């Protein structure tokens, strides 16, 4: 192996990850630094006025809770794991990275609610728009305010739960395409996995979005 190649470890569960981090502090540090960089950048794009220190604190709290509770599912480590195992920078942006991002988002919202400071929602930027536009009609569902501010959105979990229920009511084909998209699988890869053309994938996502939006709207009437 080239000496410049990153170290890789096959990781099947949280306990294995913790053993590796204990035995290889460099790997642990590389993972933490890459995860912090990736997650805090995404959070700063979402929370325009959040202080950099607050965003980092939210990430640290989420990471600490992950290490304490060990609630991440084992199959998350297996999803997309290279044959030689995870390099630290790859693991940081894997399913585990997504899990830590959601935890960090929750922590940041909780911090906002405790301090009662206004944290404006800036909406997706040009680079991130592809991640969010599947539900761009959702702001018309019920009271639009829950979707204009993440703190308010968190307080309207009934709407979020309703949307999840509606997702599960989709046909198998639409649901499979939608879940791949929500897992941030690139459009071209979705098309390849499902043996479809990219325009067909886009058409399915458009149909799924409309069905979920209509279903959610009916549920909130």
Structural domains of the chain sorted by starting position, each given as residue range(s) with its CATH number in brackets: 1-120 (no CATH), 148-220 (1.10.10.10)
- Rounded to the nearest 5°, which phi and psi values hold at 47? -105, 95
Q: What pLDDT does 126 receive?
A: 40
Integer angstrom CA distances of residue 111 from 158, 185, 218: 21, 30, 33
DSSP 80: T
> What pLDDT does 221 receive?
53
pLDDT at 91: 94
How many residues are there in the chain? 221
* Spans in the chain with pLDDT lower than 50: 1-3, 117-157
pLDDT confidence of residue 34: 93
Q: What's the pLDDT score for residue 4?
A: 63
Would you state the pLDDT for residue 96? Answer: 92
| pLDDT value, residue 20 | 92
| Nearest in space to 14 (alpha carbons), one of 129, 127, 91 | 91
In sequence order, what are the residues at sequence separation of 6 or more whose Cβ sits closer than 8 angstroms to the Cβ of residue 13? 74, 77
pTM assigned to the model: 0.52
Structure confidence by residue, pLDDT tens digits, 59-74: 998 998 888 888 888 8
Structure tokens at 221: 């009437």
The encoded tokens of residue 28 equal 């642990």
């Amino acid at each position: 192996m080239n000496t410049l190649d990153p170290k890789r470890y096959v990781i099947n569960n949280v306990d294995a990850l913790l053993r590796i981090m204990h035995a290889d502090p460099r790997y642990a540090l590389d993972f933490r630094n890459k995860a912090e960089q990736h997650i805090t950048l995404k959070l700063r794009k979402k929370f325009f006025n959040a202080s950099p220190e607050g965003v980092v604190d939210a990430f640290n709290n989420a990471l600490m809770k992950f290490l304490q509770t060990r609630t991440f599912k084992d199959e998350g480590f297996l999803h997309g794991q290279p044959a030689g195992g995870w390099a630290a920078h790859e693991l940081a942006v894997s399913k585990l990275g997504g899990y830590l991002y959601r935890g960090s988002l929750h922590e940041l919202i909780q911090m906002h609610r405790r301090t009662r400071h206004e944290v404006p929602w800036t909406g997706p930027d040009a680079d991130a728009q592809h991640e969010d536009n599947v539900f761009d009609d959702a702001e018309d569902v019920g009271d639009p305010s829950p979707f204009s501010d993440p703190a308010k959105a968190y307080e309207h979990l009934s709407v979020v739960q309703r949307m999840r229920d509606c997702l599960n009511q989709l046909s198998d084909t639409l649901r499979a395409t939608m879940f791949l998209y929500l897992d941030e699988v690139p459009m071209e890869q979705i098309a390849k996995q499902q043996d479809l053309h990219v325009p067909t994938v886009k058409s399915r996502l458009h149909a799924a979005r409309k069905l979920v939006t209509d279903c959610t709207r009916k549920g909130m009437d």
